[in-house]
Amino acid sequence: MLKNVRWHIVPSLFCNYSCDHCCNHSGPQMKKSLSQKELQSLKRGMMTHNPSELQFVGGEPSLFIDEINEIISYHNHYDKINISLATNGWFATTTTRAIKYLKKFKRLTHIQMSFDIFHNSRSKKEYVINMDQACKTLNLNFNLSITITDVKELVLAKELIQEFGVSAAIGKVESSGRALINGIAFKYPAYDNSVVDKRCTNLEGITFIANKGFTICSSNLIFNHDIPEMFSESIEDLYSNKYFQLLKKCTMGEISKKLKVEMLNDPKYSSVCANCEYLFTTYWKNNNEKNKAK
Ligand code: SF4
């Protein structure tokens, strides 16, 4: 039995917004949702492994209430665990509407609202205030998630946080999905070699993505490439997946040695995920070329 494992569940990559910095191409063009087979696989995994936390992310997961409520009900102790929803906050046009909407979920303990006014997102300041009020009324934890592409945006982000008086997580825009296409990933001023000793950023978690399966990755490797080896149909298969084992156990420097791919001292590889993407995709490319040459 797995203990203290957080599951990130992506019920769909469908989103009502289409932000420039989106890390996974989510948007109105992504229509697919979970199949019955996938729901059964989630059910089996959830009942056997009892994850300590569920995080619903997307896409815009708040558009999939029925699916989310069904998944929550699979957990043997859903009323005792933390369950969070990452949302763009589209429904918080008034506090009353936000309360009504959040009450439709079987259980939530935490709302994380993306507020990325820097990148063509349609989030509005008043929605943040309404969502904060709604969470206070329903006794839910609330925080903002703000992503930045440049150190200059850090100052603006801090001013916003002060203005709202809420807690916030500030993250860097990764070079994945639409952010990569639009060339708006965070620009590192110089190579940060501490990345050599860092591990996968999703070490405590398992990701489940609709129409793909279970994986460790929640970033560049799965959103910039279509790599079947990174996905498994069940939790048991995932745990025996050699790439999962490698990412769980090794630092980027150790992975570089095991895959026999040298790390590059380029500022853009200061990010763990960009580095990881480079190591694995170079390894797979080299292997394919060797296989073709045989
Ligand atoms: S890109 Fe690599 S380091 Fe980043 S979340 Fe995916 S597997 Fe982990």
Phi first, then psi, for residue 155 (nearest 5°) are -65, -45
User: How close is the Cα of 19 to the center of ligand 1, in Å?
Assistant: 22
Q: Rounded to an integer, what distance in angstroms lies between the CA atom of residue 4 and that of residue 185?
A: 31
- Ordered per-residue pLDDT tens for the chain, 294 residues: 445 589 999 999 999 999 999 999 999 999 878 999 999 999 999 999 999 999 999 999 999 999 999 999 999 999 999 999 999 999 999 999 999 999 999 999 999 999 987 777 788 899 999 999 999 999 999 999 999 988 888 888 899 899 999 999 999 999 999 999 999 999 999 999 999 999 999 988 999 999 999 999 999 999 999 888 999 999 999 999 999 999 999 999 999 999 999 999 999 999 999 999 999 999 999 987 777 776
pLDDT for the residue numbered 4: 58
- Domain membership of residue 96 (yes or no) is yes
- Domain membership of residue 210 (yes or no) is no
pLDDT for the residue numbered 217: 94
Q: Rounded to an integer, what distance in angstroms lies between the CA atom of residue 134 and that of residue 166?
A: 13
User: How close is the Cα of 164 to the center of ligand 1, in Å?
Assistant: 32
- Domain membership of residue 205 (yes or no) is no
Domain extent, residue 148, equals: 6-187
Q: Which of 202, 271, 275, 280 to mutate to test the pocket of ligand 1 (most atoms within 8 A of CB)?
A: 202
User: How close is the Cα of 166 to the center of ligand 1, in Å?
Assistant: 29
Q: The domain that contains 53 carries what CATH number? A: 3.20.20.70
Where does residue 173 rank: exposed (0-12), middle (13-18), buried (19+ CB within 10 A)? buried
User: How close is the Cα of 190 to the center of ligand 1, in Å?
Assistant: 21
Helices within 121-202 (DSSP H only): 125-138, 151-164, 177-181
How many domains would you assign to the chain?
1
- Domain membership of residue 251 (yes or no) is no
Q: Which residues line ligand 1 (CB under 6 A)?
A: 200-202, 216-221, 247, 272-273, 276-277
pLDDT for the residue numbered 88: 95
- Domain membership of residue 166 (yes or no) is yes
* pTM of the predicted protein model: 0.93
